[in-house]
């Protein structure tokens, strides 16, 4: 019995003193990093220096030249919380990549971001965001790209006279007659963009 009492006492004192903070010991800030997996990165088939040529159904042409690929981090700071008289801020760092393209046509401009952002729902998922003409943001969830069970999956689509397989489609809610749509697959990236203000659409002619 003495051994049991001694054991309990030691556990209690150890717990008690471990909860104390030495005033001379600095607080350690928590800094976490979350990176995109190689599988996620493979679903963004751009080097950053690609040349994309799109042709519209009105016979207009847009040549988009990649300006580079930039890695950055989306940072979310968690408000300070206090433990043992120590105020500890926490920072979550989410890896992201940006792809900018310079277009020779003012009607067609794109910028692409691949990221994982904190939060719930779409904002908390591994995503590709494609900004079209600085006004429309298409969102594709990385885990759904090429996934046959996804609601926005199409087995094959005819684009610019060529059949493409494993297509993911991003829809933008619109009260206009034509719903903006973006067609994408992990081999070629953006395949087609349908505008919202008319029947005009753009299709990929070449990627190199």
Reduced to 3 states, what is the DSSP secondary structure of residue 161? coil
Show the tokens assigned to 79: 């408000």
Distances (CA, A) of 104 to 129, 144, 199: 22, 32, 22
Residue 162 in this model has a pLDDT that exceeds 60: yes
| Cβ-defined contacts of 169-173 (< 8 Å, 24+) | 170/130, 170/138, 170/139, 170/140, 172/136, 172/138, 172/196
Reduced to 3 states, what is the DSSP secondary structure of residue 193? strand
In this structure, of 34-43, 55-64, 128-137, 196-205, the range with the lowest mean pLDDT score is: 196-205
Domain residue limits, the chain: 26-207
Which residue would you say has higher pLDDT here, 75 or 156? 156
Which residue would you say has higher pLDDT here, 5 or 47? 47
- Give percent above pLDDT 70 in the chain: 74
pLDDT digits (tens, 9 = 90+) for 103-116: 999 989 999 999 87
pLDDT digits (tens, 9 = 90+) for 168-205: 999 776 555 557 889 999 999 999 998 766 678 999 99
């Amino acid at each position: 019995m003495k051994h049991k009492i001694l054991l309990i006492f030691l556990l209690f004192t150890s717990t008690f003193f471990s909860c104390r903070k030495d005033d001379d010991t600095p607080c350690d800030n928590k800094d976490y990093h979350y990176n995109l997996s190689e599988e996620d990165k493979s679903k963004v088939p751009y080097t950053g220096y690609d040349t994309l040529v799109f042709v519209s159904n009105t016979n207009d042409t847009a040549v988009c030249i990649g300006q580079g690929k930039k890695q950055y981090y989306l940072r979310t700071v968690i408000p300070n919380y206090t433990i043992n008289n120590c105020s500890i801020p926490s920072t979550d760092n989410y890896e992201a990549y940006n792809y900018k393209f310079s277009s020779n046509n003012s009607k067609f401009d794109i910028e692409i971001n691949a990221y994982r952002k904190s939060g719930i729902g779409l904002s908390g998922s591994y995503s590709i965001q494609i900004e079209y003409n600085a006004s429309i943001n298409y969102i594709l969830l990385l885990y759904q790209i090429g996934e046959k069970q996804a609601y926005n999956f199409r087995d094959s689509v005819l684009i610019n006279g060529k059949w493409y397989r494993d297509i993911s489609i991003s829809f933008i809610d619109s009260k206009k007659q034509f719903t903006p749509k973006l067609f994408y697959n992990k081999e070629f990236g953006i395949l087609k963009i349908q505008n919202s203000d008319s029947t005009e659409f753009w299709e990929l002619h070449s990627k190199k």
